[in-house]
Amino acid sequence: MSDFSFTKLGLEGAYLIEYFSVGDNRGGFSKSFEKDIYKEAGIEFSLNETFISISAKNVIRGLHFQTRNPQAKLVSVPKGKVYDVIVDLRPESLTFKKWEGYELSDQNHRALYVPRGFAHGFACIEDGTLMMYQCDGPYDKETDTGIRFDDPDIGIKWPVEDGKDIHSDRDLGLMSFKDFVEQYL
């Protein structure tokens, strides 16, 4: 698996990936995905759609997922820096309700593979951060939902100073983890 490094994470099925990147006096060039290399590492991923978001410093997005036909995601940061978080929502998993967070940036050339059945969110550490989401599986608008970023039952420690965090109205209205369990499990 030349030019790629795959690290299995503590949450079953999730990987931190260091991808190919070179640079010189002109700038840089990176390759964050190659189907056969990922398959060799044990990741079956078939790209359905790609999204790019741009966010200001202190924006927290998430924790998002689909309740029906969950998508696997490959997330990376072509510009800027985020603290990226995944939460295992699979009740049969040994790591159910556990979360992990990782810094992804244009400097460390990392991607995070988020398996189906996980919630995903991130906090922007730099202004003008671009986050790229590559999704395996169709988007399901009817079941696109999430859990609040600050749910105490999950207990994520976001690297954003209290009172400076920025959110969408949608994200502020997301359900609690307790509501998720009662409604979907």
DSSP line for 32-92: ---HHHHHHTT------EEEEEEE-TTBEEEEEEESSSPPEEEEEEEESEEEEEEEE--TT
Per-residue pLDDT tens over the stretch 29-42: 999 999 999 999 99
Give the chain's residues under pLDDT 50: 1
* 177: helix, strand or coil: helix
Q: Identify whether the C-beta of residue 51 lies closer than 8 Å to the C-beta of residue 133.
A: yes
Q: 133 an active-site residue?
A: yes
Q: What is the identity of the amino acid at 51? A: F
Identify the active-site residue in 19, 64, 102, 120: 64
Domain boundaries, the chain: 47-184
DSSP line for 124-172: E-STTEEEEEEEES---GGGEEEB-TT-TTT----SS-TT--B--HHHH
Quick one: pLDDT at residue 50? 95
Quick one: pLDDT at residue 2? 62
Indicate yes or no: pTM above 0.85.
yes
Identify the active-site residue in 15, 19, 83, 133: 133
Quick one: pLDDT at residue 21? 92
Quick one: pLDDT at residue 84? 98
**CATH topology for the 47-184 domain:** Jelly Rolls (2.60.120)
